[in-house]
């Protein structure tokens, strides 16, 4: 097991908590996949919800992977270390979230267009015949609770750690509990004879999920192609990064200031000037001092090479 020495001290505790939370997330999601799999029946909505729960494993898995690599020291072949694994994980998580939204929209649209009437029959338990719909509702209720709780616990950690993967997972958890709620409404609607109810509810929810997924993909791509650092969960420029540019520009009025993000860290380049003084990165950080770890590197590019 790699140590936490490479993780900035102010977020070390949060990182450990997030790792524990994601292991819980994976365990509970697997139990949901099992329970839902047992009562899938003939309902297309239940099948889609099951596929979404399976895709819900992607963000916690890639978070754990990136947390593992972040704690590794640079090697001979990877001199810059492994911070970029976080950016790559973010893109994978964002694609998984967008896929969930797209599959939900596709499923509900085809159900509505083809006017599919789902058959949900009888199940025999303890010598009695029950409508399988009741069991499906019970499974959906179980599938709602873990993502609702875990998603809420993840958000403050993601903010403190500036962790887009964890933030995207919180969105994925939101998508999963909302899909579960739509599923319950859908099964009850089906029971009332409204064959279109679940598809309509799912289509409504899918729009928000696609929007979140699309936004996350844009931020992830911006990060991978060295775009300006973005605010957590937003395509807007990061206000702390903007203030850092202003501060550096004041010190080096003739230079071009470039900032890029690798995972949670910011790398700053001052182009067109020689370094004239020793810089203290912590003192240079214009935001809250406990977040000064975000500025990981300041480099200078001489005038003739910029």
Residues in contact with other proteins by the rule CB under 8 A = 42, 116-122, 124, 129, 131, 133-134, 137, 181, 184-185, 188, 190-195
Neighbours of 109 (CB within 10 A): 14
Closest distance to other proteins from the beta carbon of 131 (Å): 6
Give whichever of 184 and 209 is closer to other proteins, judged by the CB atom.
Answer: 184
φ, ψ of residue 267 to 5 degrees: the values are -110, 130
Closest distance to other proteins from the beta carbon of 284 (Å): 44
Give whichever of 188 and 298 is closer to other proteins, judged by the CB atom.
Answer: 188
- Please write down the HEC assignment for all residues of 187-253: HHHHHCCCCCHHHHHHHHHHHHHHHHHHHHHHHHHHHHCCCCCECCCCCCECHHHHHHHHHHHHHCC
φ, ψ of residue 167 to 5 degrees: the values are -65, -45
Give whichever of 24 and 131 is closer to other proteins, judged by the CB atom.
Answer: 131
Q: Give the 3-state secondary structure of residue 64.
A: helix
Give whichever of 195 and 214 is closer to other proteins, judged by the CB atom.
Answer: 195
| Of 184, 240, 172, the residue nearest 208 (C-alpha) | 172
Contacts of 283 (CB under 8 A, 6+ apart): none
Neighbours of 49 (CB within 10 A): 28
Give whichever of 118 and 268 is closer to other proteins, judged by the CB atom.
Answer: 118
Closest distance to other proteins from the beta carbon of 27 (Å): 24
Closest distance to other proteins from the beta carbon of 87 (Å): 33
Give whichever of 46 and 137 is closer to other proteins, judged by the CB atom.
Answer: 137
DSSP for 284-306, please give it: H--S-GGGGGGEEEEEEE-GGG-
Closest distance to other proteins from the beta carbon of 177 (Å): 9
Closest distance to other proteins from the beta carbon of 35 (Å): 18
Closest distance to other proteins from the beta carbon of 152 (Å): 13
Whole-number Å distance between alpha carbons of 177 and 100: 12
Closest distance to other proteins from the beta carbon of 81 (Å): 42
Give whichever of 81 and 146 is closer to other proteins, judged by the CB atom.
Answer: 146
Q: Report how far apart, in Å, the C-alpha atoms of 303 and of each of 79, 249, 251, 300 are.
A: 25, 15, 16, 9
Specify whether the CB–CB gap between 292 and 244 falls below 8 A: no
Give whichever of 81 and 147 is closer to other proteins, judged by the CB atom.
Answer: 147
Specify whether the CB–CB gap between 272 and 301 falls below 8 A: yes
For 244: left if phi > 0, alpha if psi spans -120 to 50, otherwise beta; the answer is: alpha
């Amino acid at each position: 097991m790699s140590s936490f020495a490479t993780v900035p001290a102010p977020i070390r505790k949060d990182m450990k908590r997030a790792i524990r939370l994601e292991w819980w997330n994976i365990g509970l999601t697997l139990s949901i996949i099992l329970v839902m799999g047992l009562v899938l029946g003939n309902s297309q909505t239940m099948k889609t919800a099951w596929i979404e729960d399976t895709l819900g494993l992607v963000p916690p898995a890639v978070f754990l992977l990136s947390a593992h690599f972040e704690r590794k020291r640079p090697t001979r072949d990877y001199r810059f270390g492994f911070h970029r694994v976080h950016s790559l994980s973010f893109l994978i998580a964002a694609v998984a979230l967008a896929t969930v939204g797209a599959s939900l929209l596709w499923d509900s649209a085809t159900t509505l267009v083809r006017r599919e009437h789902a058959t949900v029959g009888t199940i025999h338990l303890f010598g009695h015949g029950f409508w399988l719909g009741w069991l499906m509702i019970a499974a959906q209720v179980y599938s709602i609770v873990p993502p609702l709780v875990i998603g809420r616990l993840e958000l403050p950690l993601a903010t403190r750690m500036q962790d887009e993967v964890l933030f995207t997972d919180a969105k994925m958890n939101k998508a999963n509990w909302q899909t579960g709620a739509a599923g319950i409404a859908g099964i009850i609607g089906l029971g009332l004879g409204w064959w279109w109810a679940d598809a309509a509810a799912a289509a409504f929810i899918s729009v928000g999920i696609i929007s979140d997924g699309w936004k996350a993909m844009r931020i992830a791509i911006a990060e991978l192609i060295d775009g300006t650092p973005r605010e957590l969960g937003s395509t807007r420029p990061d206000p702390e990064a903007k203030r850092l540019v202003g501060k550096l520009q004041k010190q080096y009025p003739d230079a071009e200031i470039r900032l890029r993000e690798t995972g949670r860290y910011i790398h700053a380049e001052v182009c067109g000037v020689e370094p004239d003084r020793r810089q203290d990165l912590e003192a240079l950080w214009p935001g809250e001092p406990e977040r000064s770890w975000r500025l990981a590197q300041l480099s200078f590019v001489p005038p003739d090479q910029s």
